[in-house]
Amino acid sequence: MPDAFATFSPGLDSPGTRHFLITPGPGDIVPRPRSIYCQVAGNVTIEDVNGTALTYAMVVGQILPFRARRVTAATATIYGWD
């Protein structure tokens, strides 16, 4: 079945079209996710575009609507949605 939305440009409020595992590391997340989904609960330390790092306690099923630049530490299993 063809994609009925293939001719539309995605907007900021459009749903994601890709999903991927995010692992902590020193480099930027590529591609930068529209949001982060928690599969297994734990803590996640993320950096914003200015390099400010904050730690979030995440629960299973939580969606963090944040375009993180980096994940520097995680005890949670998280996925990016883009």
Please identify which residue in the block is written with the tokens 């996640």.
Answer: 44
Is residue 14 pLDDT above 90, yes or no? no
Is residue 21 pLDDT above 80, yes or no? yes
Backbone angles phi, psi at 17, to 5 degrees: -120, -10
Query: Do residues 46 and 36 touch, judged by C-beta distance below 8 A?
Result: yes
Structure tokens at 29: 């997340």
Using a pLDDT cut of 90, give the percent of the chain over it.
78
pTM for this structure?
Answer: 0.87
Q: Could you tell me the CA-to-CA distances from 32 to 1, 2, 6, 63 in Å, in that order?
A: 29, 27, 21, 15
User: Mind listing the pLDDT tens digit for each residue in 63-72?
Assistant: 999 999 999 9
Average confidence score pLDDT of the chain = 93
Is residue 82 pLDDT above 80, yes or no? yes
